[in-house]
Amino acid sequence: MKVLILCTGNSCRSQMAHGFLQSIDKDLSVFSAGTKPAEKVNPKAVEVMKEARVDISGHNPHNVTEYLDEPWDYVITVCGGANENCPVFTGDVKHRLHIGFDDPSDANGSDEFVASEFRRVRDEIIVRFKKFYNDELKSQNNRI
């Protein structure tokens, strides 16, 4: 099963979802990308995922163009706000889903507040991607 998770910068939400989904099933082929990839994964995303025992420190942002010619079982967008530029993927895709989250890198305020926003979004990603895995991916694998 091949899954591509898309966002704009591929530095926070898509990386957290990628790391979490891969951590719950090593047999999945999980990738993430963005339309305007950042230079590196956001250090706060790495930090809060480490707290959840998921290591994304070796991840790097990728451009969605790297994956356009590949077939996918699922392509999932994770951009949250309606004003945000979520990528549109028109390649060979069996299932397209949108599971949106706020962008924690938009948080402003004290270090504690910013960290709490990253944790909140991380926890939402874990809950929603665990549900996606249980409802969609496990049932797909059982049909094979």
CATH of 2-143, one of 3.30.160.100, 2.60.40.10, 3.40.50.2300, 3.40.50.300: 3.40.50.2300
Q: Of 30, 79, 125, 126, which residue is the catalytic one?
A: 79
Q: Is 86 annotated in the active site?
A: yes
CA distance 94 to 117: 33
Catalytic one among 3, 5, 7, 137? 7
Active site residue 79: yes
12 is catalytic: no
55-101: pLDDT as tens digits: 999 999 999 889 988 999 999 999 875 445 566 667 788 998 999 99
Q: How would you label 58-83 residue by residue, b for 16+ Cβ within 10 Å and e otherwise?
A: ebebbebeebeeeebbbbbbbbbeee
Domain ranges of the chain: 2-143
Residue 43 region by backbone torsions, left for phi larger than 0, else alpha for psi between -120 and 50, else beta: alpha
CB count, 10 Å around CB of 10?
27
pLDDT digits (tens, 9 = 90+) for 95-130: 989 999 999 999 999 999 999 999 999 999 999 999
